[in-house]
Amino acid sequence: MAVVNKEAKEIHCKVVYYGPSLGGKTTNIQWVYQKTADPGKSDLISFNANPERTVFFDFLPMAGGQLHGMKMRLHLYSVPGQVIYDASRRLVLRGLDGIIFVADSQIERMDENIEALKNLEKNLEKQGYDIKKIPLVIQYNKRDLPNVASVAELRTALNRFNAPDFEANAAIGRGVLESLSTVSKQIITILKGGEI
C-alpha cells in the first residue's frame, strides 16, 4: 500500500518481482539499479541467506510522474525464487502496490513458472489481495535463449488475467524498463482513483 510522505512530497510505492528461481528477478532489479542516474537512490541491498535471496533498493524515477504535486518513489523488491521459502515470499509481498511476474521463457521451465504463479495467487489471497485487482505485468524473460516457448504458449499458460506482458532479456535490459514503467503507470492510475 502506497505511503505518503507529505514533508518530502513523495509517494512511496512497493513493486515486487515474483517468479521461479533463476528466472531473472534479481537481474531486472540489478539492471534498473545500474541504469538509474538518480543520486537519491539507496544502495542495492541483498538479504542473502543462501540459497534464499531477496534483493531491494529504492529510487526516484525521472519519469515517475507526479500526483497531487508529489513525486513517486519506487521501492523494488525480489522474492526468493524457490517455493520452499514461502514465508519469506509472503513477507516481501506485504504492503505491495504492484507486481512484475518474471517468467523464464525456456520450455523446460514452464512447470516452474506455473507453480510460481499459483504460489503468487495463493500468497496474495492469504493477505487479502485479489490478483485481478492489483497492478500486474507479466514479463517473458530469457527470450534470447535457444529453447524458448512461443509468446502465445506463454500467454496461454501464464496470462489468464490479460495483464500487460513483455518479451525480455533482462541481462541486456530488453523489456526491463517497459515492464517497470507499465506497472508504475497502473499504480498511478489506482492512486488517482483513491484518496491520498
Q: Where in the sequence is the domain holding 27, given as residue range(s)? A: 3-193
Average pLDDT over residues 39-53: 62
Number of domain units in the chain? 1
Position 39 scores a pLDDT of 67
Instruction: Please say if the pLDDT value at position 77 is more than 50.
Output: yes
CA 90/CA 79 separation, integer angstroms: 9
pLDDT tens profile 101-154: 999 999 999 999 999 999 999 999 999 999 999 999 999 999 999 999 999 999
Contacts for 61 with CB less than 8 Å, ≥ 6 apart: 36, 38, 72, 74, 184
Q: Look at the pTM and tell me if it is higher than 0.85.
A: yes
CA 165/CA 159 separation, integer angstroms: 8
Q: What is the CATH number of the domain that holds 63?
A: 3.40.50.300
Could you give phi then psi for residue 75, rounded to 5 degrees? -115, 115
